[in-house]
Structure 1
Amino acid sequence: MRARLVGVAVHLPESRLDNAELVRRVSSASDGFVPPADLVRRLAGVTTRHLMPDDWQASDLAVAAAGKLLAETGTAVGEVDLLMFASASQDLCEPATGHIVAAKLGASCPVFDVKNACNSVLNAIELADALIAAGRYRRILIACGEAPSRAIRWRVADLAQYLSAFAGYTMSDAGAALLLAPGPAGPADPGVLACAFTADSTAWQVGTLPGGGSAFPRDPERTYFELDGAGLRKAFEALGPELPLETLRRLGLRWEDFAVVAAHQVSLDYLEVFRSGLGIPQDRLVVTLPDHGNVASASLPLQLVRAREESRCGPGDLVALVGLAGGVSLGIVVLRL
């Protein structure tokens, strides 16, 4: 047996924030500082992002996506026997946000959270595959709610502080959901064909959101993203291309065999560096960053949904999900739809 992907759905809040409005908001909240008008687009390639309603939480984004997925797949919430909330965001430090999602959905199954920055959903897929293969569960719902807009620094003292908080200006709110169930494990059968991960945890300090944990439990100045962009890129480059390339060799596959290669997107510049370094054909990518921003761990499900809507992939096709996350970690999941 292997886990097969029954369905995937996303929820994107209707409210949008373009770069001009971003500059206006930062300028009006700050004492004389005005951000360079085109800096976010030039450095990251982002032109607009989604903002969830003020009275929503990360769990609401996850519930919106999960409700859409259950309806699309004809799955009753009572048929789900494990719910994983997989996200960099969370409603509270305690309890697990999975409980809040389950309560809002009306689910009564076991729950837990999976948290590994922008690779949270990718790690949850690996866990779901292992648990289904072991016969522990039959229908696993992975629900994701990313709410980075709550960690945007609007009041900025100067350019140095703006650049330190720059990651927040590229990010976007979104919900995502995936449903996995058992299926046969023949060579042509749909399902998860491979999962592989690596990490360099010595680089954990290059990108952080420090507040709310034991290190900075009550410091409001630590509730914003802090990023060393050059250090993050250097850490990712140090991981190298070997993990995904070895995964493909083990499966006897080439990038050209895939209908779609979904890769996490932090900036358009680094996406091209990453694509070129791995030898991924340009036409296999699904570029969502300019119009939707960096939606953290919802990025790969979003790209998969967009590819499906554009008829770029369908039943029987191979897709690869390649994740990059602060910490730092790199992962790949290979699926046959």
Structure 2
Amino acid sequence: MTLYSKIIGTGSYLPPKRVTNQDLADQLAAKGIETSDEWIVTRSGISARHYAEPEQKSSDLAVHAARNALDMAGMQPNDIDLIIVASSTPDFFGSFPSTACIVQRKLGITNNGAAVDVQAVCSGFVYAVSVADSFIKSGAHKNVLVIGAEVFSRILNFDDRGTCVLFGDGAGAIVMTASDTPGILATQLHADGRHADVLSIPGSMDGGAIAGSGFLYMDGPAVFKLAVSVLEKVAHEALDKAGMTSDQLDWLIPHQANIRIMNSTAKKLGMPPEKMVVTVDQHGNTSAASIPLALDIAMRDGRIQPGQNVMMEGVGGGFTWGAVLARM
């Protein structure tokens, strides 16, 4: 029997602290930095974002999202035999122990299943789904918990209005399982390290301290140009793999980073705006968490129905990009 992988549960979590554009404008004004709700919305489509409390780590957000996904899937934590966490803001500097192992412990999983982190920044969730799909199809794992979780508020330079207004914290999760009918129809991943410097945290460990900067750096125009050039192409690559065309798509869920990039991608794919899931206005760019957050919201409000075709795609630092075509 041919094995396929299928998404059977989704979950998400946003920390309670909601920060509006006006809240942020007031905070920055106290430091002599000028911005406004209109300025932020016009450039990004973002109206608000959520920030984790000081004691909350990526794993805490991930666990909330994971439990919601497990509930929808009708599974218990010990049914999961592989956890993959995509995050650029892991619980520990140096990324070990992995956030996935911490999530495994906090969920109370004791079956000695595997747990691993992946790092592809805002493309992380797409990369993680592709890895999970391969593991399931190979027969190595049966039930996989894939999570994107971020606390980007910890790495933002609030003296830089061009980046600090764009990002937020949150987590999204899915449960994937082995199936005799196709669920994940195609995946396509890419990277181009020649553009590694356009989005990064340009710091490293030296003698137990950070050498360089521990804040996020982004060349906004360069990222925008790269994003609009690759998202349409990778979507078509995934469609070609599945033997499908864009008019067979029911929904587009792009990485929720910037509404202008998202609208450009939908237009190039010939998809009307009403077929694109948009949540960036309410939580900003949550990096690896943004696609599963949007997926869960659209699943729970009834927009996405069983049997529909969903294209999920993202771009991120590295420079990385990829797409997942799924039948729900």
- The reply to whether TM is greater than 0.5 is yes
Secondary structure of the structure 1 residue equivalent to 2:325: strand
Which residue matches 2:138? 134
Structure 2 counterpart of 1:332, one-letter code: A
Note the alpha carbon deviations across 1:222-242, whole angstroms, 9 max, x for none. Answer: 121111111112233444733
Which residue matches 1:174? 170
CA apart distance, 1:85? 1.4
Distance in structure 1 (CA, Å) of the matches to 2:206 and 2:187 = 33
Distance in structure 2 (CA, Å) of the matches to 1:45 and 1:91 = 29
Distance in structure 1 (CA, Å) of the matches to 2:255 and 2:231 = 15
CA contact (8 A) 1:190 1:316 kept: no
Distance in structure 2 (CA, Å) of the matches to 1:196 and 1:240 = 11
- Corresponding position: 1:305 with 2:296: yes
Describe the shift of the 1:217–1:44 C-alpha distance in structure 2 as closer, same or farther (beyond 3 A). Answer: farther
* Structure 2 residue corresponding to 1:12, chosen from 14, 19, 32: 14
Distance in structure 1 (CA, Å) of the matches to 2:326 and 2:36 = 41
Describe the shift of the 1:336–1:90 C-alpha distance in structure 2 as closer, same or farther (beyond 3 A). Answer: same
**Which consecutive unaligned segments of at least 5 residues does structure 2 have?**
none
CA contact (8 A) 1:260 1:307 kept: no
Q: How many residues align?
A: 321
Distance in structure 1 (CA, Å) of the matches to 2:265 and 2:206 = 33
CA contact (8 A) 1:86 1:115 kept: yes
CA apart distance, 1:220? 7.9
Describe the shift of the 1:12–1:228 C-alpha distance in structure 2 as closer, same or farther (beyond 3 A). Answer: same
Distance in structure 1 (CA, Å) of the matches to 2:35 and 2:165 = 12
Question: Relative to structure 2, which stretch is displaced further, 278-287 or 15-24?
Answer: 278-287
Secondary structure of the structure 1 residue equivalent to 2:165: helix
* Structure 1 residue corresponding to 2:114, chosen from 100, 110, 119: 110
Distance in structure 2 (CA, Å) of the matches to 1:121 and 1:84 = 9
CA apart distance, 1:190? 4.2
Distance in structure 1 (CA, Å) of the matches to 2:167 and 2:207 = 23
Distance in structure 1 (CA, Å) of the matches to 2:166 and 2:211 = 21
Which residue matches 1:259? 250
Note the alpha carbon deviations across 1:176-226, whole angstroms, 9 max, x for none. Answer: 111111001xxxx34111001122221110111223x34897348712111
Secondary structure of the structure 2 residue equivalent to 1:280: coil
Distance in structure 2 (CA, Å) of the matches to 1:291 and 1:229 = 21
Which residue matches 1:60? 60
CA apart distance, 1:65? 0.8
- 1:222-301 map, 5 Å: 222-239=213-230, 241-301=232-292
* Structure 1 residue corresponding to 2:190, chosen from 189, 193, 198: 198
Structure 1 counterpart of 2:25, one-letter code: V
* Structure 2 residue corresponding to 1:121, chosen from 120, 125, 142: 125
Secondary structure of the structure 2 residue equivalent to 1:170: coil
Note the alpha carbon deviations across 1:37-90, whole angstroms, 9 max, x for none. Answer: 243222212110011122100110001111222223221111111111112221
* Structure 2 residue corresponding to 1:151, chosen from 137, 148, 155: 155
CA apart distance, 1:265? 2.5
CA contact (8 A) 2:10 2:296 kept: yes
CA apart distance, 1:122? 0.9
Structure 2 counterpart of 1:145, one-letter code: A
Distance in structure 2 (CA, Å) of the matches to 1:177 and 1:45 = 24
Q: TM-score, normalised by structure 2?
A: 0.91
CA contact (8 A) 1:148 1:168 kept: no
Q: TM-score, normalised by structure 1?
A: 0.89
- Corresponding position: 1:320 with 2:319: no
* Structure 2 residue corresponding to 1:2, chosen from 4, 21, 28: 4
Secondary structure of the structure 2 residue equivalent to 1:256: helix
Structure 1 counterpart of 2:256, one-letter code: Q
**Which consecutive unaligned segments of at least 5 residues does structure 1 have?**
157-161
Fraction of identical pairs, as percent: 27
Note the alpha carbon deviations across 1:17-50, whole angstroms, 9 max, x for none. Answer: 011111222233x3xx232224322221211001
CA RMSD of aligned residues (A): 2.0
Secondary structure of the structure 2 residue equivalent to 1:248: helix
Distance in structure 2 (CA, Å) of the matches to 1:205 and 1:21 = 31
